[in-house]
């Protein structure tokens, strides 16, 4: 599978992260809190706010074991571990992001609560029925075999466990603005409609407790908070190339209803 997110030939991701932290006035030799890193490591629509809201909807408790699929730099995993005290396993396809996540786990002192391993969402390296919650944010848009993805999620969930997610879905019209954060060309973007997503999940024994389209809410809020990042400010641009253009195209795609932003909590049988 081609990796659309990381190409770090010149400077590796650890160097980028450490430089980005120092440029933003943070001292990596002192313990950092997950919230201090939030602009850097919540690589999904709505950032930290969206993660906090999903955490509340998913009703995750301290005794829960959580799997974060496609965890990126692990920002949400650390938020969950820090805010709730639960144990979080991260699976991430990119070796660069795994290294970045491990670094940030160390800098926040959360290595014991958050583990990171390289792996695929389509072959999760876990036994059946071992998680209370599976968590996934902005990952499925590059995955073609959605049935296999959801079968894997259902397989690792305990009976009564929850799948909590936010995901891009197909809108009413085809995509026309590229590059997007997840796709350079139309072929890279594998989106299904909200209805198809619900059917695919139901086919794996996952039933909706919450399933909502948050596109309009997100657009209203992001317009209200549209402050451009200042030089030296911590952000995704530390490791995402051409971020402003990609984010602008994602916003236009959402405004034109070419994509929809969904979130949900589905329960396993």
Ligand X SMILES: C[S@@+](CC[C@H](N)C(=O)[O-])C[C@H]1O[C@@H](n2cnc3c(N)ncnc32)[C@H](O)[C@@H]1O
Cβ closest to ligand X, residue 30 vs residue 234: 234
Q: Considering only 11-19, 67-75, 208-216, 222-230, which stretch makes contact with ligand X by CB under 6 A? A: 67-75
Phi, psi of 83 (to 5 degrees): -75, -35
Query: Reduced to 3 states, what is the DSSP secondary structure of residue 178?
Result: coil
Distance between CA atoms of residues 162 and 154, nearest Å: 9
Region from 109-117, 133-141, 150-158, 171-179 binding ligand X, contact rule CB under 6 A: 133-141
5 binds ligand X (CB under 6 A): yes
Given 120, 184, 214, 233, the residue binding ligand X (CB under 6 A): 120
Q: Is 164 in the site for ligand X (CB under 6 A)?
A: no
Q: Which residue has the tokens 């944010």?
A: 137
Interaction between residue 249 and ligand X (CB under 6 A): no
239-242 long-range Cβ contacts below 8 angstroms, 24+ apart: 239/6, 239/8, 239/13, 239/16, 239/17, 239/20, 239/73, 239/100, 240/5, 240/43, 240/181, 241/7, 242/179
105 near ligand X, judged by CB under 6 A = no
CB of 72 to ligand X, least distance (A): 3
Give the Cα-Cα-Cα angle 164, 169, 174 (nearest 5 degrees). Answer: 170
The single residue among 20, 34, 46, 75 that binds ligand X, judged by CB under 6 A, is: 75
Select 30 or 39, whichever has its Cβ closest to ligand X.
Answer: 39
Q: Using the rule CB under 6 A, is 42 a contact of ligand X?
A: yes
Q: Residue 11 corresponds to which tokens in the numbers above? A: 């400077």
Rounded CA separation 158/180 (Å):
35
**Which chain residues interact with ligand X by CB under 6 A?**
5, 42-44, 70-72, 75-76, 91-94, 97, 120-122, 137-139, 142-143
């Amino acid at each position: 599978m081609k990796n659309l997110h990381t190409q770090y030939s010149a400077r590796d991701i650890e160097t980028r992260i450490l430089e980005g932290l120092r440029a933003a006035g943070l001292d990596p030799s002192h313990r950092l809190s997950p919230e201090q890193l939030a602009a850097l490591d919540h690589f999904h629509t709505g950032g930290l706010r969206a993660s906090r809201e999903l955490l509340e909807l998913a009703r995750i408790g301290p005794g829960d074991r959580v799997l974060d699929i496609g965890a990126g730099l692990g920002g949400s995993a650390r938020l969950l571990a820090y805010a709730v005290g639960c144990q979080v396993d991260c699976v991430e396809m990119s070796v660069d992001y795994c290294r970045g996540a491990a670094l940030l786990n160390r800098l926040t002192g959360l290595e014991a609560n958050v583990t990171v391993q390289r792996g695929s969402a389509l072959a999760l390296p876990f036994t059946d029925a071992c998680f209370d919650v599976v968590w996934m944010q902005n990952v499925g848009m590059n995955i073609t075999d959605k049935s296999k993805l959801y079968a894997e999620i259902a397989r690792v969930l305990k009976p009564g466990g929850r799948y909590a997610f936010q995901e891009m879905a197909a809108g009413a019209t085809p995509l026309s603005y590229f590059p997007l954060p997840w796709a350079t060309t139309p072929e890279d973007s594998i989106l299904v409609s909200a209805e198809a997503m619900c059917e695919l999940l139901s086919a794996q024994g996952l039933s909706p407790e919450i399933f909502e389209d948050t596109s309009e809410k997100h657009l209203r809020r992001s317009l209200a908070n549209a402050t451009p990042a200042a030089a030296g400010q911590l952000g995704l641009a530390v490791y995402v190339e051409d971020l402003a253009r990609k984010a602008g195209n994602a916003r236009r795609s959402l405004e034109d209803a070419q994509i929809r932003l969904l979130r949900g909590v589905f329960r396993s049988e």
